């Protein structure tokens, strides 16, 4: 398989980040980047659904919550390796993605978005009612105040190593999506996006491939939620509110949905910018105002998002020299 320039640049940057980021950053920022990385993985799922199938999913962060819940549940119930728990979290959330897909498969555009948003709302209620397992008794596994310890991967028990572990997973997530794009599912999705008639006349089983897309997005959400659980050790229902799913989608549009750069920008806007504002003691609500303006800017002037504008700029500059 041929590697594109963009893929090569991305892999080099990932390698540099892998080696140097944990070395140069302080403890607090490593923690922030760990959760940023998790949201980048989740955003990659919505981004490919949006850019490749034209499907708007407003439930991705809620699905992360499902993955996180399963991860914590597994962690506190059994003594299995982290990766096994992560695989279970990914698989269960994949099935949640399918569940979500069932009513949504016959719908398009706004209706599909609304269905996913309703599901996110439902999950928000469940999370805030039952909260996340922290080592307590019974199925829901919640005990008051203290929490039992969380078992991180053996290779990455320290925060700095865990950040590396996350970077590895970001690359893996992008590669999984890229593999899909270059094979039959990616082509089927392109046909579905063109039109249902185009898909049918290509022999594409539209329901099957749409469900596959939901499953993949769900899997990525599950992995990212599981990794976030590993990063924080415990999870708070407020992290997975329906409004967060909308926010992640909106920032993905701002960043640009078509490549890795846009998804990275989305993750940075989602997690790093508010943290910076916090550092500078600027009101966090100001971030919302800026995001709103950025979204308008993206919708009106930059169909490929900030990443598209950046790449255009680079292309222009390199032509001039």
Which residues of this protein are in contact with another protein, per CB under 8 A? 184, 187-188, 190-191, 193-195, 197-206
Q: Which residue has the tokens 């490549």?
A: 259
Handedness of CA 105, 40, 237, 77 (dihedral sign): positive
Q: How far is the CB of 320 from another protein (least distance, A)?
A: 23
Q: 199 or 229: whose CB is closer to another protein? A: 199
User: Which of 217, 208, 222, 198 has the alpha carbon at shortest distance from 38?
Assistant: 222
Q: How far is the CB of 199 from another protein (least distance, A)?
A: 7
Q: 267: phi > 0 → left, psi -120 to 50 → alpha, else beta; which?
A: alpha
Q: How far is the CB of 4 from another protein (least distance, A)?
A: 13
Q: How far is the CB of 181 from another protein (least distance, A)?
A: 10
d(CA 250, CA 259) in angstroms, rounded, equals 16
Q: 140 or 200: whose CB is closer to another protein? A: 200
- What are the DSSP calls for 131-148, one per residue? ---SS-STTT---SS---
User: Which of 201, 163, 216 has the alpha carbon at shortest distance from 23?
Assistant: 163
d(CA 278, CA 261) in angstroms, rounded, equals 25
Q: How far is the CB of 24 from another protein (least distance, A)?
A: 38
Q: 8 or 194: whose CB is closer to another protein? A: 194
């Amino acid at each position: 398989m041929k590697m594109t320039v963009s893929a090569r640049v991305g892999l080099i940057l990932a390698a540099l980040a892998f080696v140097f980021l944990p070395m140069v950053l302080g403890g607090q920022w490593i923690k922030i980047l760990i959760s940023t990385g998790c949201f980048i993985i989740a955003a990659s799922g919505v981004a490919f659904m949006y850019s490749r199938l034209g499907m708007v999913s407003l439930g991705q962060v809620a699905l992360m919550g499902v993955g996180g819940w399963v991860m914590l549940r597994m962690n506190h119930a059994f003594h299995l390796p982290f990766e096994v728990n992560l695989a279970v979290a990914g698989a269960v959330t994949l099935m949640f993605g399918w569940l979500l897909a069932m009513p949504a498969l016959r719908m398009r555009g706004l209706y599909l978005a609304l269905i996913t948003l309703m599901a996110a709302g439902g999950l928000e209620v469940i999370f805030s009612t039952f909260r996340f397992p922290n080592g307590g008794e019974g199925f829901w596994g919640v005990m008051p105040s203290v929490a039992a310890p969380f078992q991180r991967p053996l290779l990455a028990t320290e925060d700095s190593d865990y950040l590396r572990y996350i970077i590895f997973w970001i690359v893996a997530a992008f590669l999984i999506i890229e593999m899909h794009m270059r094979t039959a599912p990616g082509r089927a999705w392109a046909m579905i996006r063109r039109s249902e008639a185009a898909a049918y006349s290509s022999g594409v089983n539209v329901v099957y491939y749409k469900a596959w897309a939901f499953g993949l997005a769900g899997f990525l959400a599950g992995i990212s939620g599981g990794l976030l659980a590993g990063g924080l050790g415990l999870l708070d229902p407020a992290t997975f509110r329906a409004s967060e799913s909308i926010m992640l989608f909106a920032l993905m549009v701002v960043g640009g949905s078509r490549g890795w750069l846009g998804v990275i920008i989305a993750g940075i806007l989602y997690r790093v910018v508010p943290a910076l504002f916090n550092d500078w003691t600027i009101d966090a609500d100001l971030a919302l105002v800026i995001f709103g303006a950025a979204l308008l800017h993206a919708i009106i002037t930059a169909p490929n998002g900030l990443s598209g504008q950046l790449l255009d700029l680079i292309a222009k500059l390199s032509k001039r020299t």
